[in-house]
Amino acid sequence: MAETVITTLVSPVVSIALEKLSSLATAEFFAFIHVKDDIKKLESMLTDIQQLLTQLISSNSTDMKNWLVKLQAVAYDAVDLIACWATEYHQWKMKKQVRKLHLPFNTSNFLFQRRQLRKLREIKAEISELLQNGQCYKTIIGNPTSRSQSSLQPQQTGSLSNNLVVSREEDKKKIIELLIPDEEASDGGNISFVPIVGMGGLGKTTLAQLIYQDEKVKNYFEIKTWVCVTNNFVMESIFREIVVSYMSEQNIDHDVNNFSYAKLQTRVRDILTRKRFILVLDDLWKNNHVELQPLLDVLNLGGKGSKVLVTSRISDVANIKGSKAPYYLQCLDDNESWSLFAEIAFKEGSFAHSDVEELNVYGKEIVRKCSGLPLAVKQMGGLLRGKTVDEWKHIMRSEALEVKENKILPVLRLSYNHLPSTDHKQCFVYCSLFPKAHVYEKNELVKLWMAEEFIRP
């Protein structure tokens, strides 16, 4: 998938360079820089690069990845060069306008142009070499219907599907029984861990959300907190997230970003001491007792019957002292998978009645390939909703769809590849810069995309 992502990032940079060149291409600008022929050649080469990027085959070739990385670097060099020209040119225009007379090109202009011309010719030479090397990665566009698949667009789906809720109702009931036993004395201590274990895409977090929001759980526990654990396990961040989650539950508005580690630890101790709490540690990868000890020391101050609900991909989390046996979450069966898929894909009567029977045949084969993984099923349902029979058939036959060795990545890659445009892909890739469980603020994110010129007003 790496080369696909890099292609997604390179193409918009090339587009930006071409747009900037187009906006500057005036007689006055060419008179200012005195390199019209070189600029036109650069524009032509960038156009060739842009066309080549649309014709690249998907490949795991190391050579192709290296080629794309080099192309990305030179594309950014071109954008920087054009931006430098634009700045110098507009400054010259402003001075000329203020003085109301002809402003000659002084020595500094001449030196600037010499430096930029040298850089321009270096960039042209690099692009020329990359164009030659890039031809071997090109694919012949023979079947127009295969290219039309890029119009497939995943539709939005709710985070908690009704059929997924129903499918996990029995799991939810069993785990709540572990969290809230008939007799508190059976717990043995103040706190115990309840691990939900399973591979990625099974819906562990969704199940934990259902439990966390259950009225019985709300009424039983005095304090509820939720922490999404990052791969870089940092105890200070864990304590900070516990405080933030608690304040959110209590509708308390307070900034804790400047709290020291010691102050956060004290605050968590104050919140949990002698209180019956439930803490959700979502996606925990650590089971090292030494690393967890600062957290365990504070959690053990909680009231009798307190619980830590853990979601994890590793069964070793059950080795934490006070942990119950892992609850292994299973894949959906065929009927549950089909119900979930149909709820999303056939939403709001988006197909002609005459097509439904044929779509059912293709849909059931697609669902079978999802191997009972709720995330894969939801992705495919959203991708295919409202699409044509031919598009369903194309996805059904795709080798990329098959979930093998309990890995969700092929389905996610397929969904990503079928985003409707490069603009959508680059905006999606940009979001990977944010930390796990980051809460996006829509207007802020849109402004960031605009600042990167991924989208335009």
Same domain, 235 and 294: yes
Alpha-carbon distance of 356 to 378, in angstroms, equals 19
Query: Is 157 contained in some domain?
Result: no
Same domain, 176 and 320: yes
Query: Is 457 contained in some domain?
Result: no
Same domain, 209 and 261: yes
Alpha-carbon distance of 285 to 278, in angstroms, equals 19
Backbone angles phi, psi at 161, to 5 degrees: -70, 145
Strands of the 306-312 sheet, one edge to the other: 223-228, 277-282, 306-312, 191-197, 327-328
Alpha-carbon distance of 265 to 303, in angstroms, equals 17
As given in the structure block, the two tokens for residue 401 are 């769809």
Query: Is 54 contained in some domain?
Result: yes
**Residue pair 267/280 in contact by the 8 Å Cβ criterion:** no
As given in the structure block, the two tokens for residue 359 are 């779509």
pTM above threshold 0.75: no
Same domain, 55 and 7: yes
Alpha-carbon distance of 199 to 94, in angstroms, equals 61
Question: In the prediction, which pLDDT does 71 show?
Answer: 81
Query: Is 249 contained in some domain?
Result: yes
Same domain, 409 and 392: yes
Same domain, 234 and 318: yes
Neighbours of 152 (CB within 10 A): 21
Q: Which helix or strand (DSSP H or E) is residue 427 part of?
A: helix 422-430
- Tell which of 265, 293, 328 closes a domain: 328
Query: Is 29 contained in some domain?
Result: yes
CATH number, domain of 263, equals: 3.40.50.300
Same domain, 275 and 382: no
Residue type, 220: Y
Query: Is 149 contained in some domain?
Result: no
User: Which residues touch 87 (CB under 8 Å, ≥6 apart)?
Assistant: none
Query: Is 39 contained in some domain?
Result: yes
Q: Could you tell me which of 336, 227, 243 has the C-alpha nearest to residue 282?
A: 227
- Tell which of 298, 328, 358 closes a domain: 328
Tally of domains within the chain: 3
Q: Could you tell me which of 107, 80, 109 has the C-alpha nearest to residue 93?
A: 109
In the chain, count of helices (H) and strands (E)?
20, 5
Same domain, 32 and 103: yes
Beta bridge partners of 327: 196
Same domain, 268 and 341: no
pLDDT tens, the chain, 457 aa long: 444 555 555 666 777 777 777 766 665 665 656 666 777 777 788 887 777 776 664 555 567 777 777 887 888 888 888 778 777 777 767 766 666 555 554 445 666 667 777 888 888 888 888 877 776 655 433 333 333 333 333 333 344 567 667 789 999 999 999 999 865 445 556 789 999 999 888 999 999 999 999 999 999 999 999 999 877 678 998 999 999 999 988 888 778 888 999 999 999 999 999 999 999 999 888 776 778 889 999 999 999 999 999 999 888 887 887 788 999 999 999 999 999 999 898 876 656 566 788 899 999 999 998 889 999 999 899 888 888 889 899 888 887 676 666 677 777 777 777 777 777 888 888 888 888 778 888 889 998 888 877 777 6
Same domain, 297 and 358: no
Alpha-carbon distance of 94 to 152, in angstroms, equals 48
Domain that holds residue 345: 332-451
As given in the structure block, the two tokens for residue 199 are 């591979």
Question: In the prediction, which pLDDT does 72 show?
Answer: 76
- Tell which of 328, 344, 367 closes a domain: 328
Query: Is 360 contained in some domain?
Result: yes
Strand boundaries in 62-190, DSSP class E: none
Q: Could you tell me which of 429, 428, 362 has the C-alpha nearest to residue 398?
A: 362
Q: Which helix or strand (DSSP H or E) is residue 72 part of?
A: helix 62-99
**Residue pair 429/5 in contact by the 8 Å Cβ criterion:** yes
Alpha-carbon distance of 190 to 176, in angstroms, equals 17
Same domain, 265 and 242: yes
Question: In the prediction, which pLDDT does 153 show?
Answer: 36
Same domain, 216 and 236: yes
**Residue pair 269/301 in contact by the 8 Å Cβ criterion:** yes
Question: In the prediction, which pLDDT does 107 show?
Answer: 44
